[in-house]
């Protein structure tokens, strides 16, 4: 960048204001080098291109990077006309071969990104030249391309302001251009870190890194990276640490889909039978009405044990549990074991423990009977 700035000053007498990387290539280092040398406008952000540093980029209008550099993305639509792929606003692309198509493209662009978005039309050093097929080079001016460019400018001059990089920066400085919030340069470092994490093969190293990320809300705010590493450790045979963390992830929905059944599966592995907070989570899941195998008796057992092991949070959960005792036979709710004499709500229809009605309890009994007495493997069933 020192060389680029020096050459630009030598040729024009002024320092450069804007930069675009060859092939739209850039990374955090180029953005930082720009900032340090006072180059304020960058225009290499072009998500569909394979040369982009991150595949998580999305189409958007102008925005700031966290170091203050203004990004003016290459204009692009996810589809255009009958083309089901991203199309750049490129003067030389076949999809924009006529003035009508170019105007139609701009109409869709502003509809998608808003009238305050900056449209960037890509042109090349050879955009207005003729290509010699035999020699494989560009030669003299192409009259057709020159005429089409002039016609395009004439067609939009009453609808659009065609501005320079300097004018863009002047609008920003005057507060007259809407700019989206900043994108943190740390996104590049995170990608590098993630690549290294995927290559880890030592179990102890994986667990150490996973725990580090789990406790670092800045590096891994949604726990996706730490959960990915815990899954990897689980697949490599670790149970206690990975099982507990994955259980928490599915219970809370952080770094993984919230799923009480999956959470209970992890918390219920034998390696966690004496882990006090795993017992707390077992009890909380079993008392939850969202859990299909709700069981107040077992929930009380796990919560009581957790409390005895020093988990004071379990006391509040125990107090909120219905006071029920296990009863055998037909003298209790088949879902939560609430004694029959306590089922008085709604004239004896609604169980105070699990809030079930007779139709749910009968279905539970039928399912239990089928599971105990019938072998349905490979069979066909009809549920009415």
Give yes or no for residue 346 having a pLDDT over 60.
yes
Q: How confident is the model at residue 158 (pLDDT cuts 50, 70, 90)?
A: very high
pLDDT of residue 195: 64
Say which residues have a Cβ less than 8 Å from residue 56's Cβ, sequence separation at least 6: 187, 191
How far apart are the C-alpha atoms of 25 and 31, rounded to whole Å? 11
Give yes or no for residue 327 having a pLDDT over 60.
no
- Cα 273 versus chain centre, distance: 34
pTM of the model: 0.54
Among 224-238, 316-330, 336-350, the range scoring the smallest mean pLDDT is: 316-330
The count of other CB atoms within 10 Å of the CB of residue 110 is: 16
The count of other CB atoms within 10 Å of the CB of residue 62 is: 22
Percent of the chain beyond pLDDT 90?
Answer: 63
The count of other CB atoms within 10 Å of the CB of residue 52 is: 18
pLDDT of residue 192: 59
Give yes or no for residue 328 having a pLDDT over 50.
no
CA atoms within 13 A on the CB side of 304: 7
Mean local confidence (pLDDT), 181-191: 77
């Amino acid at each position: 960048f020192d060389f680029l700035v020096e050459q630009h000053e030598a040729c024009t007498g002024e320092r450069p204001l804007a930069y675009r990387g060859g092939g739209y290539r850039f990374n955090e280092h180029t953005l930082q080098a720009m900032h340090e040398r006072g180059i304020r406008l960058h225009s290499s952000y072009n998500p569909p291109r394979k040369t982009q540093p991150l595949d998580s980029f999305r189409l958007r209008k102008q925005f700031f990077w966290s170091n203050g550099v203004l990004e003016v993305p290459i204009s692009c639509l996810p589809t255009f006309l009958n083309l089901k792929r991203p199309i750049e606003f490129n003067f030389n692309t076949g999809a924009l071969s006529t003035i009508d198509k170019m105007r139609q493209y701009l109409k869709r662009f502003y509809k998608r990104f808003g009238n305050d978005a900056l449209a960037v039309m890509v042109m090349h050093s050879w955009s207005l030249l003729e290509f010699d097929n035999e020699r494989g080079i560009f030669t003299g001016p192409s009259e057709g391309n020159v005429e089409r460019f002039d016609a395009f400018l004439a067609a939009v001059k009453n609808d659009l302001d065609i501005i320079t990089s300097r004018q863009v920066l002047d609008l920003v400085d005057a507060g007259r251009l809407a700019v989206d919030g900043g994108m943190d340069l740390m996104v590049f470092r995170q990608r590098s870190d993630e690549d290294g994490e995927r290559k880890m093969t030592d179990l102890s190293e994986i667990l150490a890194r996973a725990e580090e990320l789990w406790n670092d809300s800045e590096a891994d705010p949604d726990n996706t990276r730490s959960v990915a590493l815990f899954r990897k450790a689980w697949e490599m045979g670790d149970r206690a640490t990975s099982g507990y963390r994955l259980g928490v992830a599915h219970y809370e929905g952080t770094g993984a889909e919230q799923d009480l059944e999956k959470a209970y599966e992890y918390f219920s592995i034998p390696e966690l039978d004496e882990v006090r907070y795993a017992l707390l989570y077992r009890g909380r899941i079993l008392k939850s009405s969202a859990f299909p195998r709700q069981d107040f008796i077992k929930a009380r057992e796990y919560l009581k044990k957790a409390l005895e092991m020093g988990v004071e949070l379990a006391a509040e959960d125990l107090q909120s549990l219905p006071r029920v005792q296990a009863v055998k036979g037909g003298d209790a709710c088949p879902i939560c074991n609430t004694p029959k004499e306590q089922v008085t709500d709604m004239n004896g229809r609604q169980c105070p423990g699990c809030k079930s009605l007779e139709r749910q309890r009968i279905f539970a009994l039928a399912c239990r009977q089928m599971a105990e007495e019938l072998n349905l493997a490979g069979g066909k069933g009809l549920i009415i």
